[in-house]
Structure 1
Amino acid sequence: MIGGFDSLPDWLPYIPNSNVSEGGRVRQLANPDGDTIIECLESFNHKERNYTYSIMQAPFPVTDYLFTIHVKEDTGGKSSLIEWSGSFTPVGVSDEEAINLFHGIYKDGLEQCNMHF
């Protein structure tokens, strides 16, 4: 569910639409407000079940955005742990405000994934 770079609309309520280009390396997203977000796939490792992406354009008050999604299987193989980590530099807002913005978006998405499993 999470592995496809173009699969965000399947599990992240904040992103209802996604289109990929450049051989699947760039995704153009739309949020509920109609804002455009363009992200670039920086690395993908199918075996390790992770990918890293950066933001090329977004309405977010941050720069130098680089995030990784990593799906880890539990030791029993019956469930997975999803780690979504990243770094960015806030612009015009406090660190806490920027962190809270992304925390809310990602918390909603991960809760949605939990309901699908």
Structure 2
Amino acid sequence: MSSTTASIEIAATPDQVWQLIGGFDSLPNWLPYIPRSELSHGGRVRRLETPAGDVIIERLQSFNEKERYYSYSIMQAPFPASNYVSMLRVREANDNKGSLVEWSGSFTPVGVSDEEVTQLFHGIYTDGLDALKKNFTN
């Protein structure tokens, strides 16, 4: 099993950041490569579409409003991985002046090397967090 974590500091309070990203259906609000999200199964499953028309189906595994995190697994996706579980978390930054957002995941490569799939997801997390930060810059 492989894993990766990306993080970014954002000049906004953890509550402000969580308000934007804390909903399981909120990816289209801040992630440009997921323009569409549709919830089902009582809000525990989301069907995502990329601009290219690829479909990703994910299941909410845990949600903690107070500690500002949720975890999810991939049920269906065009990625070379299985056993994917990820967490998106917002914390107070170390200097208490803003937020630290972490996006992490673990997964098993399928048909590719550990390094290739790790680079793929690390790139997705890093690009996503960069896009998130743009929502809080003037």
> Shorter-chain TM-score: which interval?
over 0.9
Which of 83, 87, 93 does residue 106 from structure 2 map onto?
87
Q: TM-score w.r.t. structure 2 length? A: 0.80
- Give the whole-Å Cα distance in 2 for the aligned partners of 1:101 and 1:22: 29
Query: Mind listing any 5+ residue stretches in structure 1 that lack a counterpart?
Result: none
Please name the residue that 2:82 is paired with: 63
Q: Which runs of 4+ in 1 moved over 6 A?
A: none
- Give the whole-Å Cα distance in 2 for the aligned partners of 1:109 and 1:11: 8
* Higher mean displacement: 13-22 or 58-67: 13-22
Which structure 2 residues correspond to residues 1-117 of structure 1 after superposition, within 5 A?
1-74=20-93, 77-117=96-136
Please name the residue that 2:15 is paired with: none
Instruction: Give 1:23's aligned amino acid.
Output: G
Instruction: Give 1:28's aligned amino acid.
Output: R
Between Structure 1 and Structure 2, how many residues are aligned?
Answer: 117
Query: Mind listing any 5+ residue stretches in structure 2 that lack a counterpart?
Result: 1-19
Report the Cα offset of residue 75 of structure 1.
Answer: 5.2
CA deviation vs aligned residue, 1:9-48 (integer Å, no higher than 9, x gap)? 1111221110001111000000122111000000000011
- Give the whole-Å Cα distance in 2 for the aligned partners of 1:107 and 1:79: 18
Give the % identical residues. Answer: 65
Instruction: Give 2:59's aligned amino acid.
Output: C
Instruction: Give 1:46's aligned amino acid.
Output: E
- Give the whole-Å Cα distance in 1 for the aligned partners of 2:104 and 2:113: 19
* Higher mean displacement: 105-114 or 40-49: 105-114
Report the Cα offset of residue 74 of structure 1.
Answer: 2.4
Report the Cα offset of residue 76 of structure 1.
Answer: 5.5
